[in-house]
Amino acid sequence: GAVVSQHPSRVICKSGTSVKIECRSLDFQATTMFWYRQFPKQSLMLMATSNEGSKATYEQGVEKDKFLINHASLTLSTLTVTSAHPEDSSFYICSANRGNYEQYFGPGTRLTVT
Amino acid sequence: AQSVAQPEDQVNVAEGNPLTVKCTYSVSGNPYLFWYVQYPNRGLQFLLKYITGDNLVKGSYGFEAEFNKSQTSFHLKKPSALVSDSALYFCAVRDREGSGNTGKLIFGQGTTLQVKP
């Protein structure tokens, strides 16, 4: 099946620094990718839709200046958490659309801000 | 607004017994429905989908789901549960409102399946 990777799988950073998370579709091209945030034992919260070659579409309540998304190619989208704070600690998951109906998910990135 | 509900936070079943994880939906138009499974500290794995056609959909790892339009349900089932099926299960519907098919998925709150030996 289709594979989506994320890097890094875990990251610990200090408060005030920025962290970049990469999402790659390994064996298919994805014009649309999605970024989710998940708190422990909770559902996924969609943060933004990332479109190749254009600006991301952010969900209501998500700060676009804090969570920078870049979709520079058909196989790579990046999420940068700027000036991270402890409340940004979470599990971040990306996904990519393949074809009309199927969405494939990355393994997730555990971010801890100290 | 479109939504998905999973009424049970947790389902417990003995190994070898049949399992059902419930999902109901509320959408405008014909729904595109999905089931995903998540193991601890991992991303979501696709199990199955309903787009059109037969109401009984067969998916990965022996799972199946039945689309019931009159009851607006899409319950996940497996005839014989395994301990390794223990995980977090999400039902989802594809967003088709607003400007059209955005591709976004709307998730239920998740159901933890616990299969005991």
Contact B108 A43 (CB under 8 A): yes
The amino acid at A33: M
Q: Of the candidates B103, B94, B83, which has an alpha carbon nearest to the alpha carbon of residue B39?
A: B83
Q: What share of chain B in percent tops pLDDT 90?
A: 73
pLDDT in tens, chain A (114 residues): 678 999 999 999 999 999 999 999 998 888 889 999 998 878 889 999 988 888 899 999 999 999 999 988 889 999 999 999 999 999 999 999 877 677 899 999 999 999
Residues of B within 8 A of A43 (CB-CB) are 90, 107-110
CA distance A21 to chain B (A): 14
Contact A110 B46 (CB under 8 A): no
From the list A34, A49, A110, the residue facing B41 with the nearest CB is A110
Confidence of residue B99 (pLDDT cuts 50, 70, 90): very low
How many Cα neighbours within 13 Å face the side chain of B93? Answer: 25
CA distance B45 to chain A (A): 7
Tokens 């049949």 sit at which residue?
B18
Residues of A within 8 A of B103 (CB-CB) are 32, 34, 49, 97, 103
Listed in sequence order, the residues at least 6 apart from A4 whose beta carbon sits closer than 8 Å to its beta carbon are A23, A24, A25, A26, A94, A95, A96, A104, A105, A106, B43
Tokens 């676009």 sit at which residue?
A64
pLDDT, chain B, mean? 91
Backbone angles phi, psi at B82, to 5 degrees: -115, 150
From the list B36, B43, B88, the residue facing A107 with the nearest CB is B43
Tell me how far apart the alpha carbons of residues B47 and B64 are, in angstroms, rounded to a whole number.
9
Using CB atoms and an 8 Å cut-off, which of residues 13-72 of chain A contact chain B? Answer: 32, 34, 41-44, 46, 49
Listed in sequence order, the residues at least 6 apart from A9 whose beta carbon sits closer than 8 Å to its beta carbon are A107, A108, A109, A110
End-to-end CA distance of chain B: 41
